Amino acid sequence: MNTAESFAELPVAPKPPLRRFHQARWDEPIIFELSAPGRRGLAVPEPGAPLVELPETVRRAEPPKLPEMSQLHVLRHYLRLSQENLGVDLNIDVGQGTCTMKYSPKVNDRFAAAIAELHPLQHEETVQGVLEIYWRLERMLAEISGMSRVSLQPGSGSAAIYANIAMIRAYHAANGEGHRDQVITTMFSHPSNAACAKTAGYEVITLMPDADGYPDIEALRAAVGPRTAALMITNPEDTGIFNPRIREFVELVHSVGGLACYDQANANGILGITRARDAGFDLCHFNLHKTFSTPHACGGPAAGACGVSAELEPFLPGPVVTFDGAAYGMETPPHSIGKVRPFLGVTPNIVRAYAWIMAMGAEGLRQVAETAVLNNNYLMHKILQIPGASAPWDKRRVEQVRYSWQELSEETGVHSEEIGVRAADFGVHYWTSHHPYLVPEPFTLEPTESYSKEDLDEYAAILAHVASEARTDPEFVKGAPYNQSVHKIDTTSLDDPKAWAPTWRAYVRKHLS
Amino acid sequence: MTHPYIPNAEPGVRAEMLAAIGASSVEEFYADIPADLRLARPLDLPEPFTAEHDLVRHMKGLFDRVTDTEEALSFLGLGCYPHYVPAVCDEVNSRSEFLTAYAGEPYEDHGRFQALFEYVSMMGELLEMDVVNVPTYDGFQAAGTALRMACRYTSRSKVLVSGAVSADKLSKLRDFLSPDVEIALAPVGEGGEISVAEFDDSFAAIYLETPNVYGVVEMRGRELADLAHAHGALLVVGADPISLGVLAPPSSYGADIACGDIQSLGMHQSYGGGHAGYIATQDHEPLVAEFPSRLFGIAPTKVPGEYGFGDVFYDRTSFALREEGKEWVGTAAALWGITAGVYLALMGPQGMRDLGETILARTRYAMDALAGSVTVLHRDAIHFREFAIEVPSSAALLDGLRARGIYGGVPLDDRTVLVCVTERHSITDIDRLAAAVQEVL
C-alpha cells in the first residue's frame, strides 16, 4: 500500500523540444591512482619447465610500474571511460563531416570475430574461405570503381593514398621517367594527399578553389608539365561540391604524361552513379571504414582499398589474391612496391565490408548513394534556415557540406569551435574542417544514409538552438560544455615543452615531484 | 522493401523530404555529374542477402572452409602471435561507445582520450620512456617512421638496419625509406646476433631488433648504443613489449627511440588484423618534434580535480600543416591501443614478469625437445618465444605436420623453419610437436 503523497500527474507530459542530455560523469581517476600493491587482474600459466636465468645485461632490473588492480576494477574503470564516449550507436553522428559515420551492422562484428584465431601465415589450403572473401571483395570494388585490380592491404585511407603514391613512383621509374618530382593536389582534398606525396619524396603543388568553389583549372593548366608525376584529387571535395570538369583535369595531367589518382574518401553519394575509371583515373582508393561501413573504432583499425588500371597492376603491393577457377592463392606482382603493412590486410574489416556489400547488392548501394545525398540536401535545407549559417558558393552538394558560421560569428563573437562544444551538450558531435580554414568559421556535416528524417530534424534543431543561444548569451556558449564528463579545458600547457605531459610519468615528474 | 540499414529509403518519407527541399527527385542533386560520366547500367554485383539470417548462412559457408589455430595445433609466429587474450580485453573493445566512435572532441569523447592517455602511460612505464604515440598502423610503420625521425633529427640519410629482421618488414622499410634514405644491412653472426663492423659519421641510426627474427635476444644493446652515440647517431630498438616484463627495456641500455608492434598485448591473430605500432622517446623537445602521430596529454579544466586532455604539440602534424607536417597522420589503430592498455592494467608488473618467465622457459623446453631430431639454430643464445630449426626440406616437414593437424612453423627458406611457442602452448603441446617432427622425418 503506497501512502506517499502525490506530487506529479498522469499522463506524463510530452518531451521538451530538445533532449535533456547529460553525458556520464564518473570523475574517474587516472588508472595509476587506482593501483594498490599486490593486486592482480590476471593469472598466467605456470612454466611447467625449468626457468631460464637471464644474464644481467638483458634482464629487467626493476618491475615496470604498471597499475596493480583486481579484474573487476580494471573492467569497471574502462567501462566508465567507455560511457564517457559517444559512438554512432548512441548519437546522431552526422556532425563528423568527411568521416561517413554510417551504421556498422552488429552482425558483421560476429563475422569479424569468426576469424579471430586464424594466423596470416597458415598454408593457403587451410584458409580458402577467407581468401575467397578477399577475392570477392577485390572483384566487387573493381566493379564499383571500374578499375582493373584492387589491393586490400593498406591499413587505412591515408595508408592507401601512400600506397598509390608509391605505385605512381614505381610506375614512372619503370618507364625511365624518374625525373617527375611533382604531385598536384587541391586544398579541399584530404591533407594526407599532400602529406603522403611529400613523404614519398615529391614536391607538392596545391590548387586553390576558384571563385565558384571548384579547384582552379587554370591553376592546373599552369602547374602541369614534364615534372608532373600525378594529380591526387577528391571528388566531390570536402565541400560536397562535385567538380563537373573532372575529366578535363584528368586529361590535362595525362597530356603531360602524369597519372591521375582519385581519393574516393567521399564516395558514399556516388556509388553506382559514377566511377573512377569512367573519368579516366589510373588509380583510386576507398576507405572501407567510411563508405563500406566498418566501425571507426576511435580511429582504427580501419582498412583501405587501392584500385588500379591494368597498366599499374604489376606494381600493386604484395601479395594479392589469385583464383584459378578451383582454388584461391596468393602471389606478389612482378614489380610490386612490396609491403605496405604486415600480411594481407586488416582482415576483420575486410570481412565486415564484404558482408555489408553482400547485404546491399547493386540496388542497395544505389539506394545508399541516393539516400545519403537526399539526407544531405534535406539537412542543408534545414541548416540554411538558421540565421547566421551559410554554405559558400551557392553550388549543389552531393553527400556533405562545408558550412560557415561567419555571419553569426561576426555578430556575436562566438566561434565555430565553441558552437560545436556547446552542441555536444545535447549529445551530438560536430567537426569544423581540416586546416587551414579556407571557409571561415567552418563546420562540416555528412548525414550518410543511416539517419532518419527525425534524426536530421533533431540535429538541425540543436544547431538552431545553440545559434540562438550565441545571440542571446554569447558568454554562456563560450563557457561550454556543461553537460559533459569534464568542463572547459585549458589547453595552453599542451604546447609548452616545460609543462606538457604526454604520459603519466612525465606528468608526475613535471607537476607532482 | 525499405532496407533495414536505410530508414529514409521508405518511399513516403522520401517524398516528404523531397517536397520539403522543393526537389522533384534525387536526380536533381546529381545534375553536376556530366551525362558521359554517369553509369548507365546497374553495378554488376552478386545478388544480396537482405535477410540477416541468409547473410549469416552465406558467411558461415565461407568460414566452414577455414581451419584455424584452435582447430589445429599452431606454432606459427613471425610477427603475428597467438598470446592469450583476456576476456576483459574483448569486453572493452567490443563496447559500442569505443567501437563505433571516431574523432570527437575531448569533451564528448573524453573516454577515448583518457583511455589512450592511459595506454601511452602504461607503455611509457614498460619502456621507461616519457613519450609514446597514439598507435600508428603496425610495427612495420613504426620502424619506418622511427628511422625517418632519426634521419630528420640528425640531418643524415643513411641507416644501418639489423639483418635479423623479417623479409616483409625489410620490404616495407625499403619502400618507405627509398626516396632519400639509404639502408645498409648489418650481417647476422654465427650465434644469431647482428654484428656491426662498418660504422661512421654518415649514419643517422642503427636499427636493432630484439628479440630478433630468429627469436634471439640481442646481448650487445649497450655496445651498439655507445657506438651510435660516438658517431652522433641514434640507436633505434624494435622490441615486442610483451617481452619487457623480463627483458631490459631498450632505454635502459641507451636506446633513443623504441618502436614495435603491440599485437601481442591483447589482440587476436585475426589473420593479420590485430596490428598496431608504438614509437617512444624520452621527453626531449627536438625529438618529440619529429613524431608524425598524435600525442595526448593531460590538461586542467575549469573544475579543480578534473583531468582534461588534448593534443600535445599539434603543430607537428599533417592535420595542422598538410605537407609541411611530419610525414602524415590519419586513422590507424586506436582501438588496439585502448585494448593494449586494458591488457597491461590486467597484467600489472607481476603478470608481465610471470608471462615472460613462462615464455622463456617453454621456448627453451621446445628447443631442447626438438634438438633430438632436427638442428636447432643459435642454440647457445637466449631465445624468447621463437627459434629456428634446420631441416632437409621445410615444405616436406610442414606438409607432414599439417597432415597430423599441426601447423609446425613458418618456412623462412627451403631448409629453415621458424617455430613459435607462447604461454598458450602447454608442455603436452610441445611434446606432441616433437613426436610428430620425429615421425615425419
Residue with the three cell numbers 610471470: B354
pLDDT of residue A114: 98
- In chain B, residues with a C-beta closer than 8 Å to the C-beta of A33 are none
Answer for the pair B39, A274: CB distance below 8 angstroms, yes or no: yes
- Asked whether this chain's domains B73-84+352-440 and B87-342 adopt the same fold, the reply is no
pLDDT of residue B1: 83
Give me the residue from A118, A136, A345 closest to B269, CB to CB.
A118
- In chain B, residues with a C-beta closer than 8 Å to the C-beta of A96 are 102-104
Inter-chain contact B322–A206, Cβ cutoff 8 Å? yes
Cα–Cα distance for residue pair B77/A343, rounded to 1 Å: 12
pLDDT of residue A501: 98
pLDDT of residue A4: 87
Domain spans, chain B: 7-53, 73-84+352-440, 87-342
Which helix (H) or strand (E) covers residue B398, if one does? helix B394-403
- Angle CA B376–B138–A268, to nearest 5: 140
Answer for the pair B211, B381: CB distance below 8 angstroms, yes or no: no
Residue A222 has a CB neighbour count (10 Å cut-off) of 11
Q: What global pTM score does this model have?
A: 0.98
Question: If we measure between CA atoms, which residue out of B168, B174, B260 comes closest to residue B210?
Answer: B260
Q: Give how far the C-alpha of residue B220 lies from the chain's centroid of Cα atoms, to the nearest Å.
A: 25
Cα–Cα distance for residue pair B25/B34, rounded to 1 Å: 17
B 97-116 → A contacts, CB under 8 A: 97-112, 114-116
Helices (H) then strands (E): counts for chain A = 13, 11
pLDDT of residue A2: 73
Q: Is the peptide bond before A481 cis (omega within 30 degrees of 0)?
A: yes
Which helix (H) or strand (E) covers residue A321, if one does? strand A320-323
Cα–Cα distance for residue pair A262/B387, rounded to 1 Å: 45
Answer for the pair B271, B241: CB distance below 8 angstroms, yes or no: no
- In chain A, residues with a C-beta closer than 8 Å to the C-beta of B338 are 78, 298
- B286 inside 8 A of chain A by CB: no
Using CA atoms, how far residue A182 sits from A208, A451, B145, in Å, is: 16, 41, 22
- B403 inside 8 A of chain A by CB: no
Question: If we measure between CA atoms, which residue out of A456, A101, A396 comes closest to residue A236?
Answer: A396
3-state secondary structure of A505: helix
Fold of the domain spanning B87-342: Aspartate Aminotransferase; domain 2 (3.40.640)
Sequence-separated (6 or more) residues with CB below 8 Å from residue A275? A144, A145, A146, B39
pLDDT of residue B256: 98
pLDDT of residue B198: 85
- B420 inside 8 A of chain A by CB: no
Size of interface A-B (CB pairs under 8 A): 700
Inter-chain contact B275–A342, Cβ cutoff 8 Å? yes
CATH of domain B73-84+352-440: 3.90.1150.10
Interface test with B, best of A71, A80, A81, A376 (most B CBs within 10 A): A81
Answer for the pair A92, B129: CB distance below 8 angstroms, yes or no: no
Cα–Cα distance for residue pair A16/B10, rounded to 1 Å: 27
- Per-10-residue mean pLDDT for chain B, 441 residues long? 95 98 97 96 98 98 98 98 98 98 96 98 98 98 98 98 98 96 97 91 98 98 97 98 98 98 98 98 97 97 97 93 91 97 98 98 98 96 98 98 98 98 98 98 92
Sequence-separated (6 or more) residues with CB below 8 Å from residue A142? A148, A149, A150, A307
- B10 inside 8 A of chain A by CB: no
pLDDT of residue B425: 98
- In chain A, residues with a C-beta closer than 8 Å to the C-beta of B23 are 377
Low-confidence ranges of chain A (pLDDT < 70): 1
- In chain B, residues with a C-beta closer than 8 Å to the C-beta of A353 are none
Calculate how close chain B gets to A6, using CA atoms only, in Å. 37
Answer for the pair B8, A375: CB distance below 8 angstroms, yes or no: yes
φ, ψ of residue A39 to 5 degrees: the values are -80, 150
Answer for the pair A242, B8: CB distance below 8 angstroms, yes or no: no
